[in-house]
Each structure stands twice: as C-alpha cells, then as structure tokens.
Amino acid sequence: MSNSNNTQVKPTVVIVGAGLGGIMLGALLEKCSVPYVILERASTVKPLGAAISVGCGLVPAFQQLSIFDRLESLANRSLHSLILREPKELLLTLDYTAIEGFGGHQPFILSRHLLYDLLLNLIPSQKIHFNKRVQTISEKNNRVFVNSTDESVYEGDILVGADGAYSTVRQQLYERLKLEGNLPVSDEEDLPFSCTCLVGETKPLDATQFPELNNVDQPFATTLGKDLPYSWVLFTTTRGTISYMVVEHLSSKISRAAEDLKSRNGENSEWGPNVAQAMCDLTRDFPIPFGAGDFTLGDLYEQTPKELISKVSLEEKVFETWFAGRTVLLGDACHKFLPAAGQGALTSMHDAIALANQIYALPSSTNEAIEVSFKEYQDERMPPAIDACNSSKAMAKGMERGIGGWIAFQVSKYMSLWMWNNFVLKPGCIHRPQIGFLEQVKIKGSVVPAVSPSCEKAREIFEKRAGTVLV
C-alpha cells in the first residue's frame, strides 16, 4: 500500500457557534481525528427551544455515531399530529406512520436539549471555549485568524461560521466580499421574518393532571387561534415535561433592522429585555388541548423556569454565498427556515455531515483545494436547503389566518391518504446521508436515499486508507 493512501490531510478547523450544527460538525471531526476548536459567545451551554423532531433523515448518521439507541430511549414516537381550532375543536389529524416504510425508521420527538447533550457528550470539554465573542476575522499566509473580544486569537486552516441567523462570521465575510464587488445583491438584503415565536419547556408535570404524559405515542398538537393571529404547538416528552412553541403571525414581512428601529423610536415597547415575559402575558389565557381540565398556556408558563423561556424572530432566507477563501458557512448562518416543517435542525446537521466528509477527503490544505471542497459542499447542500425552505413556507401557510391559510388547510384536509403519503411524506425520506469515513449502516425502507457526493468522496478515501472495502 502506498504512503499516499495512508496519509490523511488534517487541516485545523475553527468552528464559531456551538448550536446543533456546530457541535454536530465537532463530533464528526472528533471521529476522524481532525483538529478543531469550537468558539461560543455564550457563557455556558443553554440550548433554548421546544422539542425537536428526529426522523429517518438523521437515523443512519446517529447509528454510525453509536447514539441512536440512546436517542430512541429518550424520545416519544411521532406518528400523528393534531390540528385544532381554539378552544379545542379538532379539525384534522395528520398520519405519519407511512414514514417508517419509506425511510426505514419511525419519526421521534424529544427535548431539544437532550439531543444537544447526546452530541455534546461526543466532544471533549476542552475543545469548546465559552465567552468567545468574535471581534475580527482575517486571512493571511494561507491561514485564517479569529480574534475574540477578550483578546484571544485562534488560527486554523478553515473557519466555519455556525453562529446562527445573524452570524458574525457571515457578516464579516460579506463585508469583505462587498468591498471586493463580489457579493450578490440578494445577500446584502436583511433577513425578513413574518413571525415571532415564544418557546419553552416545563418542569416535570403531574401525570394525573396531564395524562398525555403517559402516552409515548401522544400526538403533538397545533392549535390555531380563532380571533387573534397566533398558533401554538405542544409536545410531550419522556421526561414528563411539555414543550411548547407559540407563534405570532405578523401582518407582513419585516426585518430585524426595521424592528430595532421601531424599538429605538418607542414604537415597539415589546422588543427589549422583557420581550419573553411580555409575550407570555399576552398569550397566557390561550386554551391548550392537553390536561384533565381547562388548562391554558399560562399554566405551562408558571411551570417553566423563566430563563428557559425565550422569544425569537422566525427568519426565512437561503443565502447565495456560502463560502469564500478559507471561510465557509453552515446551518442558520447560510439558510434559515420557519419551524413549521421541522427542517432547521435537520438541515444544519446534514450540512455538518457533508462538510465533515469534504474536510476528511481534502487532498491538501491549499487555498485551491479548500475552495474546491467548499464549492462541492454548497453544490450538494443548496438544493435540499431550498427545498426545505419551500416546504417550511408551505407548512406555515396552514397555520396562518386569512385566505392563504384557509386554502392550505382545505388542501390538507381533503387530500387522500395515498396523496399525503406519496407526495408529502415520501419526498421527506429521500435525504438520509451517511458519514463517509465511518462504517456504513444498512439502508432500510422502500425509498432509495439520494446520492451524497461528499459521502461517496469520503468513502473512497476511507477505503483507500484502510486498504480494504467495508460492506
């Protein structure tokens, strides 16, 4: 066997952002012994949000990482969902049971922070640095340098911006490209959003008051507001808690910059340090379909630690530019979706898999080799990101008030089960990527997964380095 088959290029990777996409990438780089560091601006790990859906699209990779069995033990099965109109009028039940036949595994729902912890446990604690707010980024002498506000400096061969919708990495990258005249006009536009959202998870609740907690197949429930532009979604968890997401549907799309300007001019007193509490106060009397009694969202808020309730804007955009030089973007930093279809975390982790495959298979750490890999990464990941964005918009339509929401609801209500299974559920099972440098798992389900070029590329390199072909 030649030395070229055994020599692995191991570029040093600096990851900015310790969200699900960032830690997924870190966990993958840990598996293939690529040196990396994760910089997080927060002082501690605090994964806010409600429950999260994990479907067949992530199961193969989680099996390769040996965390799927643990995930399955922590999750409820997600076989149905309920659509109700305030107060508790059942409008529609959506059936997801066909997904197992298509994709080989049933979908699950679990607390977002439990999934986060599963991935975090794959990363040595010394490789994550907190209180590291990025100040400047530069490239020189074929290296990238990250300076944080505490005057620390980190350098590497590759910089990954996994720092969310308002990514500092993206902003600085785009400023440089704009000065060079290389930034598309659409990438200069602010992130628009048409919804704001309150998310949280209660403490463990009394199952005699909330009997739904005893049912591992409990459907998640979406309630549409009757007279106000709100919808709210509830999920039960195996920890005896209820996660919730309360969405305010705005009358038109606005940008964060416009919202901040209104706040400074005194037109929007909600936007400030007490925004979550203000939204809690506005929505606390909304009825919920869970519980042996007339419970409201306020009853859930009172059982939630205040620091675990947050209000966020729900942006929607797929950027055109995902990389330049030695810097590349991942997850919400390059695409942001509405949460209706549960695509955000899934797509971020798929990005991490494709990018890890590309980094593993790098033939060298030259600028040319890195840019070729980044382009292949974007070419692979952008079409699914656009599809996910469109899917999220379509699902969100059914939660809106007005004629658009009414039409979307009527289409869903009268769609045949065959059409629902084959035109809604089946396409969602196409993207089930695997990690090219770990032993492959058996493909299950009737839907043949889409080809992942990055996985095939990494797999070929892995087999050459191993000197054998693993089946």
Closest to 201 (Cα-Cα) out of 138, 163, 243:
243
Residue 15, amino acid = I
Closest to 17 (Cα-Cα) out of 294, 300, 352:
352
Average pLDDT over residues 226-248: 92
Average pLDDT over residues 65-75: 96
**First-to-last CA distance in the chain?**
20
164 φψ region: left (φ > 0), alpha (ψ -120 to 50), beta (else): left
470 vs 393, residue with greater confidence: 393
Model confidence at 451: pLDDT above 80 = yes
Segment among 335-344, 369-378, 395-404 with least mean pLDDT: 395-404
At residue 1 the predicted structure's pLDDT band, cuts being 50, 70 and 90, is very low
CA atoms within 13 A on the CB side of 195: 27
* 297-318: pLDDT as tens digits: 999 999 998 888 888 877 889 9
At residue 7 the predicted structure's pLDDT band, cuts being 50, 70 and 90, is low
- Cβ 139 vs Cβ 108: under 8 Å: no
Model confidence at 37: pLDDT above 50 = yes
When mean pLDDT is compared over 287-301, 325-339, 397-411, 413-427, the highest value belongs to 287-301
Residue 7, amino acid = T
And the tokens for 106?
A: 């049933």
Segment among 8-12, 172-176, 327-331, 440-444 with least mean pLDDT: 8-12
In order of 174, 191, 258, 264, 312, the CA distances from 315 in angstroms are 18, 6, 13, 21, 9
Dihedral sign for Cα 347, 348, 352, 355, please: positive
User: Mean pLDDT for the chain?
Assistant: 88
* 402-438: pLDDT as tens digits: 545 555 566 667 788 899 899 889 998 999 999 999 9
Closest to 157 (Cα-Cα) out of 373, 431, 399, 350:
373
Average pLDDT over residues 132-140: 96
pLDDT at 405: 58
Average pLDDT over residues 230-249: 93
At residue 401 the predicted structure's pLDDT band, cuts being 50, 70 and 90, is low
143 burial via Cβ count (<10 Å: 0-12, 13-18, 19+) = middle
- Cβ 215 vs Cβ 52: under 8 Å: no
pLDDT at 368: 96
pLDDT at 316: 85
Residue 75, amino acid = A
Element (H, E) at 372: helix 367-397
Q: What is the pTM of this model?
A: 0.91
- Cβ 84 vs Cβ 245: under 8 Å: no
Segment among 159-173, 253-267, 271-285, 382-396 with least mean pLDDT: 253-267
* 145-202: pLDDT as tens digits: 999 999 999 999 999 999 998 999 999 999 999 999 999 999 998 887 778 889 999 9
Distance CA 462, CA 356 (A): 13
Report percent pLDDT > 90 for the chain: 70
Closest to 259 (Cα-Cα) out of 321, 326, 351, 191:
191
Model confidence at 468: pLDDT above 60 = no
Segment among 115-124, 301-310, 363-372 with least mean pLDDT: 301-310
User: Which DSSP string do the residues of 165-216 spell out, in sequence order?
Assistant: TT-HHHHHHHHHHHHTT-S-HHHHSPPEEEEEEEEEEPPP--TTT-GGGG-T
pLDDT at 391: 79
- Cβ 338 vs Cβ 314: under 8 Å: yes
155 burial via Cβ count (<10 Å: 0-12, 13-18, 19+) = middle
Residues 6+ apart with CB under 8 A from 201: 50, 51, 111, 112, 113, 237, 241, 242, 243, 244, 304, 308
pLDDT at 406: 53
Distance CA 116, CA 18 (A): 10
